[in-house]
Chains A and B, each alone.
Chain A
């Protein structure tokens, strides 16, 4: 069974760093891309970027480039989304999702990681 299991909810203060994870199982992790999607409270879906764990090829949606780092570790079938310095506006739900190719749909999704940034 294909599963993407994300790390748990986080509560952070502005300026803190954070790295959340997405562990894949039930399929060959290096054969699929992992995308990250943001959903701010009460809002729609925003595609942040994508990483190919096999070769670490990474693409970003321009508004998120420089604000987050997307990476993958094929040795433990895990993708990551990290921030160096969180802002209150980073508060939201973050989903990882699997894509077979860069132009494929996201066919399996993680359960989401809620990130709350507040002083």
Chain B
């Protein structure tokens, strides 16, 4: 199985801050790297797919980059609604696997 490791596990930030979350795969996942946002008590929501493609309706302050094994999710200017947990996921091979999550706190 491909292991996905996110860093940091949690971070504290303020509204307006630039936030970068990293995700590393144990082997290449090509461009099959997706990001999800989950708020407490809610289902995950797809933010980004294929490394850098923004899902419809997702604000432009979110962006993704990377290739092969190293990827990042960037929030250019943190908005109050962005405080949540973020997960990367590889869909390159089965079983698809998620990172352990990064909790973005105030």
- Write the residues of chain A forming the contact surface with B, with a CB cutoff of 8 angstroms: 35, 37, 44-47, 49-50, 59-62, 95, 97, 99, 102-107, 109-112
Q: B87 touching A45 by the CB < 8 A rule?
A: yes
Task: Find chain A residues with CB under 8 A from B89 CB.
Answer: 45, 47, 105-106
The bracket for how many chain B residues form the interface is: 20 to 34
Q: A112 touching B34 by the CB < 8 A rule?
A: no
| A105-B49 in contact given A95-B43, A110-B43 (Cβ < 8 Å) | yes
Interface string of B37-59 (1 = CB under 8 A from A): 01000011110011000010000
| A47-B97 in contact given A103-B91, A105-B89 (Cβ < 8 Å) | yes
For the complex, is B14 an interface residue (Cβ under 8 Å from A)?
A: no
Task: Find chain B residues with CB under 8 A from A112 CB.
Answer: 43
The list of the 9 closest CB pairs from A to B, nearest first, reads A61-B95, A105-B49, A105-B34, A109-B43, A45-B98, A47-B96, A44-B101, A103-B91, A44-B100
Q: B95 touching A47 by the CB < 8 A rule?
A: yes
Q: Which residue of B is nearest A102, CB measured?
A: B94
Q: Which residue of B is nearest A59, CB measured?
A: B94
Taking the closest CB of chain A, its distance from the CB of B88, in whole angstroms, is 10
Task: Find chain B residues with CB under 8 A from A102 CB.
Answer: 91, 94
User: Interface centre among A37, A45, A60, A95, by most B CB within 10 Å?
Assistant: A45
Task: Find chain A residues with CB under 8 A from B43 CB.
Answer: 95, 109-112
Q: A62 touching B101 by the CB < 8 A rule?
A: no
Q: A50 touching B94 by the CB < 8 A rule?
A: yes
Task: Find chain B residues with CB under 8 A from A50 CB.
Answer: 94
Task: Find chain A residues with CB under 8 A from B92 CB.
Answer: 103
| A109-B91 in contact given A47-B96, A47-B97 (Cβ < 8 Å) | no
Task: Find chain A residues with CB under 8 A from B38 CB.
Answer: 45
Taking the closest CB of chain A, its distance from the CB of B84, in whole angstroms, is 13
